Chains A and B, each alone.
Chain A
């Protein structure tokens, strides 16, 4: 290049159209990394704020995921039982069972004979079996115990299932613990609505805090934006390094939040037994699923990107 030799004549300029084109991505990333290094304090504060915000949000998600997992376990107790006046013959039973199994919502159906029912009862009364002495072995009715699939365990769904079940010839008496199912459904709806409202508030708070922090950091660098515009930087030439900086800050914040979350989860799992009446390691507490973690990372990146983009709109007016 002979540009540096040009002293008494106008310098040869590169073609203008290529100035801020896609071919300069390497430059933009380098510029963004250099900006981070040159504004370490401000960047550390921003990443810290994003980390804290996303940590609170992810802690909430962790609790939510586990409470829902727990509720899901409870819902397995939802069971529909068909009672028979007299024990059906094997052909009738096979016919009936296959019809029940064909119903949508059935997870499995298990026949319990009169003898088996009495044996179970005897087992429950362990130590006081004498109470059953003298009773005829056919005192308890035979039954078909039906477990329902996930998604069919709430009040309205169970009601609908039972009315379809009752249409099957041979099914007369059906019981399913209506009261328990109703309460369980109410609890699940309450939990979901509360989770949604709280989650929405948390997301809103995190978005506001993070975008305002980014706005302040960009405000602090107004001079830089002004000079870039003064020396002829195009809108995107000025903005892109800041946007990359935002994405880097967002992903660093999200990764740190996930790391701290894992630390908290791990510490709780192994130490909570000391001050809780149960050992959480045995209770099957789970960490956030991988796709949620990926979502959190994407959320962090988006937060950094959009926070920078909206702030820059105010300060770069070309």
Chain B
């Protein structure tokens, strides 16, 4: 599903953010990308949906070399991804329905279908009663689950979660992890970036270790 061949990435200057990275994540896999802060986890994840372009190397998503994509093709690539951030990135002046529905709006769904689908996903998350609330009125855990709902509402092929449990207490973190596992069971490839060893121990899965911009462990499938 995701394959990187000798990828280099720098933010300008001589310091490389990623150095000769090669890895493969199979369809339906559940993978952790781990490493110390600043090791390059987020940079690596952002490459998958072309938030950055690599300086060198090849990135294949579902068999397509996305480094050759024209700018106009990028939105269509991103529709195969669901992305969750540690800081949620919810729109404060929009309701939960609108925040989650934005993914479907982009796909051209009509209002009625969006409402139905969003309600369905919120029900799975146990948040259907919050559909008309704005994010400020929700707890951190609820906000993270809304962000997850936004990422999963169109059943993406790949879900990328950057420190999804970073700001949450253990019970809420477990809730979030079970949502990720459920999505994985339904066929979504899940990639979670985290530096939380506790999470890795509690929910053990394949681990890709990033260290100073290089893959130090787990780049290829076990």
Contact = CB atoms under 8 A, between A and B. Distances in A.
Contact of B155 (A1, A6, A230): A6
Given A11-B155, A229-B78, A234-B72, A24 B106 contact: no
A4 interface: yes
Contact of A233 (B49, B75, B94, B157): B75
Interface in A1-38: 1, 3-4, 6-11, 13-14, 16, 18-19, 24, 27, 31, 38
A224 interface: yes
Contacts of B205: none
A4 B91 contact: no
Nearest to B51: A230
B150 A231 contact: yes
A136 interface: no
B106 A38 contact: no
Interface residues of A, number: 33
A230 B156 CA distance: 13
A16 B108 CA distance: 9
A229 B107 contact: no
Interface in A228-276: 228-235, 237
Given A224-B91, A231-B102, A232-B78, A3 B108 contact: no
Contacts of A14: 107-109
Nearest to B94: A38
Contact of B76 (A18, A230, A232): A232
Contacts of A235: 71-72, 75
Contacts of A7: 120, 186
Interface of A: 1, 3-4, 6-11, 13-14, 16, 18-19, 24, 27, 31, 38-39, 223-224, 226-235, 237, 318
Interface of B: 49, 51, 71-72, 74-79, 81, 83, 89, 91, 93-94, 102-103, 105-109, 113, 116-117, 120, 150, 154-155, 157, 186-187
17 contacts: A3-B109, A8-B187, A9-B155, A10-B157, A11-B155, A14-B107, A16-B76, A24-B108, A38-B93, A39-B93, A226-B89, A227-B89, A227-B91, A230-B51, A232-B79, A232-B107, A237-B75
Q: Which 9 A-B pairs have the closest CB atoms?
A: A232-B79, A232-B78, A4-B116, A231-B103, A38-B93, A233-B106, A232-B75, A234-B75, A14-B108
